[in-house]
Structure 1
Amino acid sequence: MAFDWKDDTQVKEFIHSLGIEYRFGCYKEKKPEVCHLLGDYLESIKKDYNKAGKVYQSNCDDYNFGRSCYKFGTYTLLGRGRQAVDPGVAYKYYCKGCELGVSESCWNAGLMCLHNRLNAGNMKDYHKGLELLDKGCEGNDPLCCYYIGSLYITGVQEASIQKDMDKARRYSEKSCELGNIHACVNVSQMYQRGDGVAKDEAKGEMYKKRAAELQDELVKQQQTLTFQQGTKPV
């Protein structure tokens, strides 16, 4: 018999069965990827953030599942569910998620170092922040690559990080390739001005065109989203 998504009873039965399946896969079969799905189920379907947080934490601690480390880091940073707001704990879990290959976790941990979000009174740690962002960039996170490129464009005097346009270009080019508009603009300007790199107007135009293409894609995505949501009747 075909499943009818318009039938509320069938939908409720499906959701209930899904929860049972995830619990079995997590608690009985001890599959980390299923435990993470259980956390997502508790978070998005049941809206039980307290239980979801516990699942994410144990899945990180017991099974080293990076995405669960990332999620629990966010829970402790925001105080979601019954979790107390604790930037130090959040940073610990973000770092673990980063080491386990979750680039978004590298991004959050790196920013916490660069913007003094570890705990009250801590100094900024630019070098550790760059190390974390670099790992995220290696994992093809465009924001991590862009941020590093931006830091090398100006340098950071208080951290003795020298301006390095060659590094700025390399990180920015990778970020652009991964779809970051601002990185494309930065690289375009570098080549057009010959700022720290050999002047190359052709390459400057190429990256400028790439930025324009990404901007057009973004506008189309926003228009599609608006169309799908519909307009509010007058």
Structure 2
Amino acid sequence: MCLCCVLIGGGLMAEPNPEELVLLGIKSYEKQDFSKAKGYFEKACDLNNGGGCSNLGVLYQNGQGVEKDLIKAAYLYSRACELKDGWGCSFLGVLYYNGDGVKQDSKKAVALFEKACKLGYKKACEMLKELR
């Protein structure tokens, strides 16, 4: 029993998992603490969490807590999409559709919206209907 108290008291708490890091990042984002949000999203993305990469991409796309960088945002959305994050695929599709940070490519945008839709991101399904 004493060993347990020592271990708990000694700060041997587990590090947050990637999903928890994303949630912590979202909470920080909602409080407008973009610097803190960036740290959480970066850690989650480094741990191959697509949501972490997508949310980090949003910070770079909007210049929140970082210098605005659409090329970096596109890279992060691409990474998120590779990790099967529908939100990231959809956001990358929007960049391709508008030619923001990437060469404008409507066909690629549609393919990304299709992938996002298949991954369960309903907004991408709606965008596809509008484009057809």
Query: Which of the five TM-score ranges fits, normalised by the shorter chain?
Result: 0.7 to 0.9
Match of residue 101, structure 1, among 84, 99, 110: 84
Distance 1:87 1:140, change over 3 A: same
Highest CA radius of gyration, 1 or 2? 1
Residue of structure 2 aligned with 1:58, choices 22, 43, 49: 43
Q: Which deviates further from its counterpart, 140-149 or 69-78?
A: 140-149
| One-letter amino acid of the structure 2 residue matched with residue 57 of structure 1 | E
Which residue number corresponds to residue 86 of structure 1? 69
Q: Which residue of 2 aligns with 1:33?
A: 19
The runs of at least 4 aligned residues of structure 1 exceeding 6 Å deviation read: none
SS at match of 2:78: helix
Q: What CA distance in whole angstroms lies between the structure 1 residues aligned with 2:63 and 2:16? A: 27
C-alpha distance in 1 between matches for 2:108 and 2:55? 21
Query: What amino acid is the match of 1:114?
Result: Y
User: What's the TM-score, normalizing by structure 1?
Assistant: 0.47
SS of residue in 2 equivalent to 1:146? helix
From 100, 112, 128, the counterpart of 2:108:
128
2:21–2:43 CA contact under 8 A, matched in 1 = no
AA aligned to 2:108 is K
- Aligned partners of 1:77, 1:48: CA distance in 2, in Å? 16
- RMSD of Structure 2 on Structure 1 (CA): 2.1
Distance 2:44 2:122 in 1: 27
CA shift for structure 1 position 40: 2.4
Relative CO higher for 1 or 2, CA cutoff 8 Å, sep ≥ 6?
A: 2
Deviation, 1:30, is: 4.8
- On the 8 A contact 2:48/2:83 being kept in 1, the answer is yes
Q: Deviations over 1:142-184 (max 9, x none)?
A: 33223323333xxxxxxxxxxxxxxxxxxxxxxxxxxxxxxxx
| TM-score normalised according to structure 2 size | 0.79
Aligned position for 2:61: 77
Question: Is 1:114 the counterpart of 2:97 in the alignment?
Answer: yes
